[in-house]
Structure 1
């Protein structure tokens, strides 16, 4: 682990205790939780192009899984979930969340740019609010597309943030030099993903207040692509 990676890991470790206090992180409000469950069904569920397994039993990789709130919804829907996060304390909370719910899932500590999943391939790769933290997001996107089986789906929930940090405290030193510091527009992300996929669509999410626990005034969207 290099100095920058260690610094980033420490930042998110420090954020872990209060991470679920954000409405769209902890999904504690039933309306917010239901909104995310519905979106995940539309992105990950019956419309998936993968013929390998039934739509209710897909292999899903949750990149930057944080405390595992979306992983929990995916496991509740019957999917086989692997979560990866750089912060050990985030992973500890994710494991506890799924264990308390009595649901199986695998959680790994590792770099989102190069998930430590070996030769495993997935039907769906989900990533929410992470690409702005990556030093080489284009390389990561190519890596992720290559981890999907033919007909698999890449689901990126992203945005162009009013502030780069998601916890209300300054992000790590040098963050302003990251290629997508502060987030990435839908147009720019689509341009980066398009060479690695067969098709993609953008779903605007800024107006979906239930997803965020209230109104937002920045750009938020989902990019859903198939390989």
Structure 2
């Protein structure tokens, strides 16, 4: 795995600018937002299966416009959503106000979370690790804030684009997991970072994405050792 080639602060600011710029239209894409009752219910089913029936203290890292945060809150979990891009959080707050679900939303860095040790039972992240300058440092940080025996739950993918796009053309070399990773490779990374019972399954149901998936999507869980 390559290491970032310039200062993390510069790379992170470029990442922030990119996602601030996309916030206003992010949910319009079928594979980002929720566009039908069927899609909504299918995502609830997936999250219920993987998060379990018991209510948990959940930290949704890289929450974006709050799609997963709001679904988890609807399932009865106590959810805090964190994102690096303030414009994404603005959209998430607007959506939260239109629902009966309570979600705490705050700005933060996925690699240096402002949470004490062992304070959440479940940490979730969707399509996040590829955007991070130090993804293995982030995994260590996530392990820190999750209580022993708790889990991380990642919705990830492998995009394998021919060319970097938009602002990422200027920084993809600084992102070790740019374009995502096949599930077996990411599972090995989680195991190397100390997570146990790493499991995953494909997310190939077109209902989830509002279209036939064009890439390899999957969900992955890892347990923080006791």
State whether TM-score is above 0.5. yes
Structure 1: gaps spanning 5 or more residues? 47-54
Deviations 1:74-133 (A, max 9, x none): 111111001011100111111221122132211111111122234461111111101011
What is the CA-CA distance between 1:220 and the residue it aligns to?
1.3
Count the aligned residue pairs.
216
Residue of structure 2 in register with 1:52 after alignment: none
Structure 2: gaps spanning 5 or more residues? 1-7
What is the CA-CA distance between 1:160 and the residue it aligns to?
0.8
The 5-angstrom pairing of residues 134-173 of structure 1 reads 134-163=132-161, 169-171=166-168, 173=170
Instruction: Give the alignment partner of residue 79 of structure 1, picking from 69, 77, 80.
Output: 77
The 5-angstrom pairing of residues 88-127 of structure 1 reads 88-119=86-117, 121-127=119-125
The answer to whether the aligner puts 1:220 opposite 2:225 as a matched pair is no
Q: Tell me: higher relative CO, structure 1 or 2? Use CA pairs within 8 A at least 6 residues apart.
A: 2
Instruction: Give the alignment partner of residue 29 of structure 1, picking from 33, 36, 40.
Output: 36
The answer to whether the aligner puts 1:40 opposite 2:47 as a matched pair is yes
Residue of structure 2 in register with 1:174 after alignment: 171
Query: Contact 1:8–1:172 at 8 Å: present in 2 too?
Result: no
Query: Contact 2:202–2:217 at 8 Å: present in 1 too?
Result: yes
Query: Contact 1:155–1:223 at 8 Å: present in 2 too?
Result: yes
CA distance in 2, matches of 1:219, 1:78: 29
- Three-state SS of the structure 2 residue aligned to 1:17 is coil
CA distance in 1, matches of 2:99, 2:200: 32
